[in-house]
Structure 1
Amino acid sequence: MSTPAQPDRFHFLHIDLNSFFASVEQQLHPEYRGRPLAVVPTMADTTCCIAASYEAKAFGIKTGTRVGDAKKLCPGIILIEGSHTEYSKYSHAVKEAVEQACHVTSIPSIDETVCELIGREQEPPNARKIALAIKQSIYKNVGEAIRCSIGMAPNRYLAKVASDMQKPDGLIGLLPSQLPRAIAHLPLRELPGVGARTEARLNKKGITTMEQLLALDRNGMHKLWDSVWGDRLYHWLRGIDVGDDGAPPASDVQKTLGHSHVLAPQFRTITGAWAVAHKLLHKAAMRLRMEKFHTTSLCFNIRFALTREQIAHAEKSRRHSSGIEHASWGMEARFEACNDTLTLLEALQGIWRQCPKSSEQQKPFFLAITLHNLIPDDELQQRLFPDPNNRASLSSTMDKLNLKYGHTKLHFAGMLPARESAPTRIAFTQIPTKYGVDYM
């Protein structure tokens, strides 16, 4: 079945900031430009690089490379602990710079921006001019070290594919008349949504190259994916607009809110972990109120590092991205809808008392706190009797002071040892919001 001919126009631009976190550090520190640099979540050899400059990538260092391995690959590499606040500021600055050249349609992540073209903007020469104007605006208004690759395509999915085809500082257009042959040389993993597991599943079904994938007709694609995703992908790869353009499904109501943290070495004790857990809850509770939600469920997860002897005798262990073999434990607490810190803290304390304390649970290194079943404040059923302890008022007063002076200015005593630990971390899938003087 042949697809109808599409006019040679670009409907979308996908702007992908190159090695964004590392580039921000090189913008802030001119002395680091042209030198191998990696951004890390914490200064520990067991953690992983979350960004690498192109100079570091030349040594084989990339996102996910263990810091210890990065030092071996490049003994002179510069390691910088990531600054969530600075990256958020620069992400907002990039959006404003892009807006000066073209209206921003959506922001899929902290280092990506999407623009939808209209009318004569879609004509290839005009689309190219807009893309170059975006590059110039970022260079002029954000910084000379902040570079981007831009993909131009007839649908959003292919625009993202094109943005990855030439880095750094690339500009690639995929016109309908060039498709699908223009992408036939790409590895399967270059397609958004095709990770290691999906690639392995495709390989088992006999699809090992892009050419083999593109040779399938629509029915073949549907059978391969066993879902409507196959039908959509068939059209996307041929430049056809099927409505959603590969955008993530919209959600009218946020489902969860929380924080996770890999503990710094000095906090990898039971006492230290509790202090950090307290800090994570403090931040989550404040965000819950700022975003005008209540919650009825708190989930807590903790991972414990295992020794070689423990690994040998453990019934089940897992490997963290940092390479640490670990055992994990988690528990959920349910309660009446609330958004005050004290009630949530009592729920966390109840979970903490249930946490196992065997010899295999003595070296915690990772914590996660997630609030589920979020209820918008305006949909909350009002209580017949008011809160007798004025917990909501207490939290509101704490928020006013923390918004003005910083989110750790006023807190419960349990988080005091970890007040400066577990800083707000980099968000890949969303741009953090600034509450008062802090980004969270």
Structure 2
Amino acid sequence: MPQPDRFGFLHIDLNSFFASVEQQLHPEMRGKPVGVCGTMADTGALIAASYEAKALGIHTLTKVGEAKRICPEIILVNGSHTEYSRFSHEIAAAVERCCPVAHTPSIDEMVCQLMGRECEPPNARRIALEIKQAIKDDVGDTLRCSIGMAPNRYLAKIASDMQKPDGLIGLLPSQLPRAIAHLELRDLPGVGAKTEERLNGKGITTMEQLLALDRTGMHRLWDSVWGDRLYHWLRGGETGDDGAPVASEVQKSLGHSHVMGPEFRSDGGAWSVAHKLLHKASMRLRMEKFYAGAMTVTIKYALTTEQAGRMGAKKHSSGIKSKGWAMEARFKDCQDTLSLLDVLRNVWKQRPRGEEFERPFFVGVTLRELIPEDEHQASLFGDPDNRADLSKTMDKLNLKYGHTTLHFAGMLPARDTAPTRIAFTQIPVQYGVEYM
């Protein structure tokens, strides 16, 4: 059935977010090419680039060394993830002044659901312009965003990518699907390199070919109900989930990982970093009111050229050829740091030995099998050594003065390493004086 020409969602995409925050914090960087780094090593990759850098061909994931070759004058900065989290929360508050934020897909994206007369195109456009102005007034004039307006979330996301920076694009049902026929298959959310290759193998190489399929053809192409949903979304229809991934009702895991600096690439250094990661994860576990029943420890080891050729190594995103190891341990659910540290210590003893396992450069610690506090069954034998009380006391001090104020001695060498990093699909939360 024909859809009325109304918008249901606004998708707000912050443009070059990390680099824009740096330019807001440092006025001397404005108008200049800026690259935000995870690590300053030439083999590291940029996690963001300003629009001045993008105009020169420097983008997210460009190697640091390549960025310097393209533009020797580029300003490289270490990412300030605490500041990015703070700005994200401030921007969300600014958007809320204009329209409630219904979803936050990532740290640099927000979705507003329109209701009633807000759905009328002139009113939706007015709200979108108010959002842009509110971000500029409340947060900073370097923070620009592109906003997509559409009948469903899937199309709103597509529209937000169609004009950057500072874009405003609306896709009305009466314009569909011809308004998106010029796009590439990779412009569709959820279509990456592997999916595009699979579609090409089935004879679909252009958006026009995809849009020419009927609902049955779309179902066959995707071999699932996803094809039926996509058929309706691309034509402005709704399927009940608005193009959003279905969220799990209960969080399944939490953890931290870190690519270590050269000074920590040894057994002792890696252990202290793992200890620091567990310290952060166990504190978050208590703040988010969970118990954990399993832990996964991951270590990646750098290989020499000769070793890599002999073993068929994988290439890490940092460019390091590596060999990985991981182990999961299960235990009676707990949340205190000392008990979890016992588990980590036992897992660590199982790490591999040999010449190819002498140069650890990456460590990850993930707590799994999470259960809410109110579902935890207390032990009949009480709390040995008052471990829960000890963790609560540590939390009180660390929330007030910073999360590394009080800790066990094993993480002392790595106390200032492994700062908070942003996973784009999860925004760090402020606990006490810091974001984690």
Q: The TM-score by the shorter chain falls in which range?
A: over 0.9
Say if 2:268 is the partner of 1:271: yes
Map of 2:93 onto structure 1: 96
Which residue identity is paired with 2:201?
K
Residue 35 of structure 1: SS of its match in structure 2? coil
Q: How do 1:20-419 residues align onto structure 2 when only pairs under 5 Å count? A: 20-314=17-311, 316-419=312-415
User: 348-357 or 23-32: which moved more?
Assistant: 348-357
Which residue identity is paired with 1:434?
Q
Which residue identity is paired with 1:383?
S
Residue 430 of structure 1: SS of its match in structure 2? coil
Which residue identity is paired with 2:136?
Y
Q: Distance in 1 between matches of 2:317 and 2:66?
A: 13
Residue 76 of structure 1: SS of its match in structure 2? coil
Deviations 1:171-219 (A, max 9, x none): 0000000000100111111111011111111111111111111111111
Deviations 1:262-307 (A, max 9, x none): 1122222222111111100000000001000001100011111111
User: 34-43 or 131-140: which moved more?
Assistant: 34-43
Residue 151 of structure 1: SS of its match in structure 2? strand
Deviations 1:315-359 (A, max 9, x none): x31111122111000101111110011111111111111111211
Q: TM-score under structure 1 normalisation?
A: 0.98
Residue 273 of structure 1: SS of its match in structure 2? helix
Q: Distance in 1 between matches of 2:317 and 2:36?
A: 16
Map of 1:428 onto structure 2: 424
Residue 101 of structure 2: SS of its match in structure 1? coil
Q: Distance in 2 between matches of 1:439 and 1:269?
A: 28
Q: TM-score under structure 2 normalisation?
A: 0.99
Q: Which runs of 5+ in 2 are unaligned?
A: none
Which residue identity is paired with 1:181?
R
Q: Which runs of 5+ in 1 are unaligned?
A: none
Q: Distance in 1 between matches of 2:359 and 2:66?
A: 23
Which residue identity is paired with 2:295?
L
Q: Distance in 1 between matches of 2:36 and 2:245?
A: 27
Residue 50 of structure 1: SS of its match in structure 2? strand
Residue 45 of structure 1: SS of its match in structure 2? coil
Question: Between Structure 1 and Structure 2, how many residues are aligned?
Answer: 436
Which residue identity is paired with 2:244?
A
Alignment RMSD, CA only?
A: 0.9
Q: Distance in 1 between matches of 2:429 and 2:175?
A: 40
Q: Distance in 2 between matches of 1:113 and 1:357?
A: 46
The 4+ residue runs of structure 1 with deviation greater than 4 A are: none
Which residue identity is paired with 1:142?
V
Which residue identity is paired with 2:46?
C
Which residue identity is paired with 2:234?
L
Which residue identity is paired with 2:382?
P
Residue 422 of structure 2: SS of its match in structure 1? coil
Q: Percent identity at matched positions?
A: 70
Answer yes or no: is the 8 Å Cα contact 1:299–1:372 preserved in 2: yes
Which residue identity is paired with 1:83?
S
Which residue identity is paired with 1:392?
A
Cα deviation for residue 250 of structure 1 reads: 2.1
Residue 115 of structure 1: SS of its match in structure 2? strand
Cα deviation for residue 382 of structure 1 reads: 2.0
Answer yes or no: is the 8 Å Cα contact 1:82–1:426 preserved in 2: no
Which residue identity is paired with 2:99?
C
Which residue identity is paired with 2:397?
L
Q: Distance in 1 between matches of 2:418 and 2:181?
A: 44
Q: Distance in 1 between matches of 2:130 and 2:363?
A: 44
Q: Distance in 2 between matches of 1:158 and 1:346?
A: 49
Residue 51 of structure 1: SS of its match in structure 2? strand
Deviations 1:366-415 (A, max 9, x none): 11111110010001112211012111111111111101110000001111
Q: Distance in 2 between matches of 1:40 and 1:140?
A: 28
Q: Distance in 2 between matches of 1:248 and 1:39?
A: 29
